Structure 1
Amino acid sequence: MLNRIRGAGKIALMACALMAASCSPSSNAPQEPRTEFSIGWSIYAGWMPWPYAQQAGIVKKWADKYGLKINIVQVNDYVESVNQYTAGKLDGVTVANMDALTIPAAGGKDTSAIIVGDYSNGNDGIMLKGADKLAAIKGRQVYLAELSVSHYLLARGLGSIGMALTDVKTVNTSDADIVAAFAAPEVTAAVAWNPQLSVMRAAPGAKQVFSSADIPGEILDLLVVDTATLKTNPNLGKALAGIWYETTALMQRQDAEGKAARAAMAKLAGTKPELFDNQLSTTYLYADPKAAVAATSAPALITTMTRVRDFSYSKGLFGQGAKSADAVGMAFPGNKTLGDASHITLRFDASYMQMAADGKL
């Protein structure tokens, strides 16, 4: 699979319980400066720059500049990678915005999103049979991975036409089973992500009636780092930003070197170059740090995270102790906050992206 399993609802509840039963959040623990760090990643088009950078020597180049050793660690299961980060086994991890909120942040782990890497721009979609308008979904059974980004996309799609989740019945279906489920004649509605989505589009009578391209910038993919680790070791953030922007600049090139870099990423992902390029075409990559800073600093991000946290809370993803959607505090550039300002555990930190934009890394 080229795309990560995006959304981890029930696992999020487990993570909250584990964090509550374990030691206090990492931000409260004093740390000594370090020189070696581990960053976890899992296979997804927008995250393949990280293992490629390691293979190409870009990681070592930037780590050496700051006297560090940075290990880019593959974790085959996306949810497991986020759980390992939450448990302190990794210093940082690649993660979707919804999962950063509902797993480490909701569990009490103070987390900083230092690179907003991309957003889904058509990688996720709602499929119907026998209709070409989303309104026809009313009353249908909708197959999807419940409590995932697909569930969020369904809620946003329904809301865009004045409908609610109560107007349909969801049927929990794993990403591994969604293609086979949609192939059954009796299944007429489903929500999925690539590469499964691209297969489902070819089903007889199937039409995509809503996609993440209709809500640009809402399904975000991030690199997050433990806030206390970052505070004690700011050079880690500088090195990671340098790695990201050098690598994404290379992969955006249309010359032989850019093509070779993308082909190498495809190989690392276990797929063919043309399939990898197809996924990149529906992934809006923030290769320009100025654009990433602008997106992270824009009011639209707070609006997005308000929607994400309201959905997550409504589905119980903040744990039983959360009394409102404000239970998990978030911080944004410009000293703006959302939720409990006295309990910030998710921070969108644009400072390292800004250094890259200013040429100060």
Structure 2
Amino acid sequence: MRTMRATLGAVALLMAALLAGCSSAASGPAKVSGEDIPDKPESGTFTMGIEPWLGYGAWWIAQDKKMFADQGLDTKITNFSEDAQINAALASGKIDSANIATHTAMKMIESGIPITAVLLEDQSEAADAIVANKRITSVAQLKGQQVAYEEGTTSEILLSYALKKNGMSLTDIKKVPMPAANVGAALLAGKVDVGVTYEPYLSDVKAKGKADLLFTAGEDPGLVSDVLVVRNDVIKEKPGQVLAMLKTWDQASGYLSEHPEEGQAIIAKNVGASPESLKSAFDGVKIYTLSESAELMQGSFAKTTVGDVSTAAKDAGILTKPVTAEQFLSDSFVKAATK
């Protein structure tokens, strides 16, 4: 389990087990037009799953500042510590929505889980990276090298993308599977020359001065990113609640921009760390405002980045076939929320 972001791990097996209770014919984004989305939320509770990743931080600010109520919502946030738990809860209908990595959403679509991504929440810019000792100065030098990383995660997505960009694939390196939390220690101990990990572990490696960043997620903005997904039946039954959730995100992300110190303190508390220990992580993650999300979902994220994520996930063996933006992404709600 990744301590700070959901991973795929056993997603494939989990999805196979859950498909008996889901209609694969219903997979793909829910079709809804702006005129079909009411301005006010429907009655009842909207349930959302979340894990301790700071990219989801706007939701904790909304909870702390009672912003859900401002939008007429009764929202229940359920905390999960493992990706398998949150994916199972979403697929089985125990929660209405979940905050997950983009490639996890793609895997759900491939597995026939009927969900739609309605909001691009964040992207890693320098919080996920390939790090190497001083002897290795370019990705081109990775051929034949031992590379430590956690398989089935955003680390594998990033590594696969970087290798392909340099004319290689995962078969050109010597894989050293290990938890991302252990990669830095292995690198510093000289057990491997190259590793892929993320914050806060990156800061520990950089602080020792024995390794440098070789390639970051920011090389392709959105390659390592997260989305809010909602079950298709919920979108059809409660579109007003979904719209109100996005308006809440807008309010909370705006608060974070205007009050970064207080906002980061709220997020750090919910992640289970101090603001000081997460400084580099905050610097390396871009949390989108609603307008930024809307622009990207109608532009480069949908047209280019989704394809890059899909290709990297397929090359890494996470997906068995490409998944397109048209299969899981809907900009209807961000359009309605920003008009």
TM norm structure 1: 0.82
Give percent identity, aligned residues only. Answer: 24
Distance 1:165 1:2 in 2: 21
Residue 132 (structure 1) shift: 2.3
Residue 219 (structure 1) shift: 1.5
Distance 1:300 1:349, change over 3 A: closer
- 1:5-154 matches, within 5 Å, as 5-8=5-8, 10-25=9-24, 27=26, 35-62=44-71, 64=72, 68-102=73-107, 104-129=108-133, 130-154=135-159
Distance 1:355 1:23 in 2: 29
CA contact (8 A) 1:124 1:192 kept: yes
RMSD, aligned CA: 2.4
Residue 350 (structure 1) shift: 1.6
Residue 280 of structure 2 is aligned to residue 275 of structure 1: no
Aligned to 1:239: 244
Corresponding residue to 1:182 among 187, 209, 217: 187
State the Cα deviation string for residues 4-54 of structure 1 (Å, max 9, x = none). 23431x4121123113333435948xxxx8622210111111112212311
Aligned to 2:311: 310
Between 301-310 and 207-216, report the one with greater CA deviation: 301-310
**Which amino acid is the alignment partner of residue 52 of structure 1?**
I
Distance 1:70 1:303, change over 3 A: same
Distance 1:317 1:261, change over 3 A: closer
Structure 1 runs of 4+ aligned residues shifted over 6 Å read none
CA contact (8 A) 1:54 1:60 kept: no
Distance 1:109 1:78 in 2: 15
Aligned to 1:357: 338
Residue 154 (structure 1) shift: 0.8
Between 109-118 and 132-141, report the one with greater CA deviation: 132-141
State the Cα deviation string for residues 189-243 of structure 1 (Å, max 9, x = none). 1001111122122345311111111111221211111112111111111111111
Residue 306 (structure 1) shift: 2.3
**Which amino acid is the alignment partner of residue 118 of structure 1?**
D
Distance 1:14 1:221, change over 3 A: same
Distance 1:138 1:310, change over 3 A: same
Structure 1 portions without partners, runs of 5+:
338-343
**Which amino acid is the alignment partner of residue 51 of structure 2?**
S
Between 149-158 and 296-305, report the one with greater CA deviation: 296-305
CA contact (8 A) 1:143 1:171 kept: yes
**Which amino acid is the alignment partner of residue 68 of structure 2?**
V
CA contact (8 A) 1:12 1:317 kept: no
Aligned to 1:301: 302
Aligned to 2:39: none
SS in 2 for 1:171: strand
SS in 1 for 2:304: helix
Distance 1:210 1:239, change over 3 A: same
SS in 2 for 1:48: helix
Residue 172 of structure 2 is aligned to residue 167 of structure 1: yes
Aligned to 2:234: 229
TM norm structure 2: 0.87
CA contact (8 A) 2:50 2:99 kept: yes
Structure 2 portions without partners, runs of 5+:
28-41
Structure having greater relative contact order (Cα 8 Å, sep ≥ 6): 2
Distance 1:38 1:96 in 2: 18
CA contact (8 A) 1:2 1:271 kept: no
**Which amino acid is the alignment partner of residue 349 of structure 1?**
S
Aligned to 2:31: none
Distance 1:258 1:23, change over 3 A: closer
State the Cα deviation string for residues 128-185 of structure 1 (Å, max 9, x = none). 1122222222211100001211111111111222222222111111123223322322
SS in 2 for 1:53: helix
Residue 69 (structure 1) shift: 2.0
- Matched positions, count: 324
CA contact (8 A) 2:188 2:210 kept: no
Distance 2:5 2:275 in 1: 21
Distance 1:25 1:71, change over 3 A: farther
Distance 1:86 1:165, change over 3 A: same
